Copies of this chain bind each other. A is one copy, B any other.
Amino acid sequence: MESFIEVPLDSDFPLENLPWGVFEAPGPAGPQVHVGVALGQHVISATELQLCSIVVPVPVHTRVQGRLNEFMAAGRPAWRAARSTLQRLLNASEGELRDNSELMSRVVHKQADVTMLLPAQIGDYTDFYASRQHATRVGSMFRGPANALNPNWLHLPVGYHGRSSSVVPSGAPVRRPSSAVSSSSPPPRPVVAPSTQVDFELEVAAFIGPGNTLGEAIPVESAWEHVFGLVLMNDWSARDIQKWEYVPLGPFCGKNWATQISPWVVTSEALEPFKCRPPAKQAGDPDVLPYLQEAMPYTYDVNLAVDITPPGVDRATTVTRSNLKHLYWSFAQMIAHHTVGGCNLRPGDLLGSGTISGDEADSSGCLLELTHASRDEIVTEASTGVVRRRYLEDGDVVTLRGWCGGDGVPCRRIGFGRCSGELLPCQP
């Protein structure tokens, strides 16, 4: 499938991908907000196509409000129809858009010329804790290997309600928080200080499609139908703040200062060729409860990596590699669990997976794990020399990457783009 718009071979965004996003582009009367898709190094405005009566079946509210909530609500038939319209219009063999230079100038922008915004108004953001490897290694550090997993962990996807106001897109600066942390000696005497344990968390998050009515659960068998698509998510975390505050009601100031997502939502349609089986059960694992059992469970094979670029350093170092497929709990199971008691999910809600760690120590999804809670260091390398880290330092740029396939032509990579943020010093 080739477009008349050039797509570099190593692009995250071939015509098979077409992830959805919201962007501000220059217009004749000043900057204007569009909804649209990414293609190669360009963006395609669905808003402009509709205004020109080329029917991309995106609901009117989506165009007007400059966010994807209404489109997410429309469900899979609408998503498929929009995708196939766009794939036809953008195809190398199709002249309707290609040969209309006036239309092209309004519809096609370079990614370098637009500013990416959040894809949706996020009504509620929930974060899970779905990686067995992560929960086991973190639990081992704090409670020892015998009690690594809490009694509920293998029975339900543990999660908590996060803070939607501080979800920011890639590129937004992120500021080191200052809050109450406890000194180590008992009795605990807290002080207010900038966090010295700022960490990233490598996650994937799902944007919810139609969702459910309050009081009516979503069965696990239809739960994937409520996933509009996936993004990368860095759940920035301040471990020292979190540690002091989290008993008994969970993370609060340790997590609510920034949650960063990649701006392009890779759709379930684009991910379809990369469906795979979830990990096998281990001996002794309990059967999950019926509301979490799928006849044909699946997830997606999405490669993940985290790069760190310390300040003044001329290149990024990949500090961990993982994969979405390692998760013990799938997004379908998270959705079924979230709604089992009647809680309603709304279009545009965001569900984070929790830190995604692989089997190896160097496939851990956060520094807490990678350094064994600061026992070790990670090393970044550049021509300017070696830089070591236990936790993040001011000026560090953290970049999450994700991609499916791409191991050879003609197999194009379905990429997620980047979720990138620089850690700024604490507010003076």
Contact = CB atoms under 8 A, between A and B. Distances in A.
Interface of A: 123-124, 129, 150-152, 155-156, 158-166, 168, 175, 177-180, 182, 187-192, 195, 214-217, 238, 241, 244-254, 256-258, 286, 289-291, 337-338, 340-346, 349, 427
Given A165-B214, A175-B215, A195-B341, 16 more contacts: A124-B124, A124-B164, A151-B182, A152-B188, A158-B248, A159-B249, A161-B250, A165-B343, A166-B214, A175-B342, A177-B340, A191-B289, A192-B340, A214-B258, A215-B427, A249-B251
Counting every copy of the chain, the complex holds 2
The SS class assigned to the A binding surface is: loop
Contacts of A286: 189
A340 B178 contact: yes
Contacts of A165: 123-124, 214, 343-346, 349
Q: Which of A191, A250, A291, A349 counts the most B-chain CB atoms under 10 A from its CB?
A: A250
Contacts of A168: 214
Contact of A342 (B177, B190, B244, B251): B177
Contact of A166 (B162, B190, B241, B343): B343
Nearest to A424: B215
Nearest to A164: B124
B160 A252 contact: yes
A293 to B, nearest CB: 11
A163 B241 CA distance: 22
Contacts of A190: 152, 155-156, 289
Nearest to A139: B248
Nearest to A138: B248
B156 A245 contact: yes
A180 B344 contact: no
Nearest to A187: B151
Contacts of A289: 180, 190-192
B343 A163 contact: yes
